[in-house]
Amino acid sequence: MMIDADAGYLESHEWAKKQDGNVFTVGLTAYAIEQLGDIVYMELPEAGTEVIAGEPFGVVESVKSASDMYAPISGTVVEANTDIPDNPDILKGDAYDAGWLIKIEASDPDEFEDLMDNAAYKKFLETEA
């Protein structure tokens, strides 16, 4: 699946999905994962870390490059998917479910409305290509 219908997107290819209450799961889009190629290193924040929408929350590195990952929504990290840095191949098969990276308790859940919806992101990818 290249795009998840329920998620909101950033132009930097992160997604956020409402889980329950004010908690959102956050990850990288399938497009980003394909573009990165072999992911060889990842740094995720620990639970309790404050993140700000549009600011970096972690780092993903392929053989050729290091990229910051940006938070789609502001709040507090409640959990990080610690399986991923050791098994980044999980991302290749399932970017939007098993491949979630962090869960954020949003300080302002309305920020979700500022993200691109799946149609807008799809259109954005067409202009990227």
Q: Which residues bind another protein (CB under 8 A)?
A: 37-38, 40-41, 43, 59, 61-64, 66
Q: Which is nearer to another protein, 78 or 90 (CB)?
A: 90
CA distance 26 to 105: 11
Smallest gap from Cβ 58 to another protein, in A, equals 11
| CA distances (Å), origin 24, targets 30, 39, 111 | 18, 24, 11
CA distance 129 to 121: 12
Smallest gap from Cβ 79 to another protein, in A, equals 20
Q: Which is nearer to another protein, 41 or 120 (CB)?
A: 41
The terminus-to-terminus CA distance of the chain in angstroms comes to: 18
Q: Which is nearer to another protein, 40 or 47 (CB)?
A: 40
CA distance 39 to 107: 31
Smallest gap from Cβ 43 to another protein, in A, equals 8
Q: Which is nearer to another protein, 89 or 114 (CB)?
A: 89
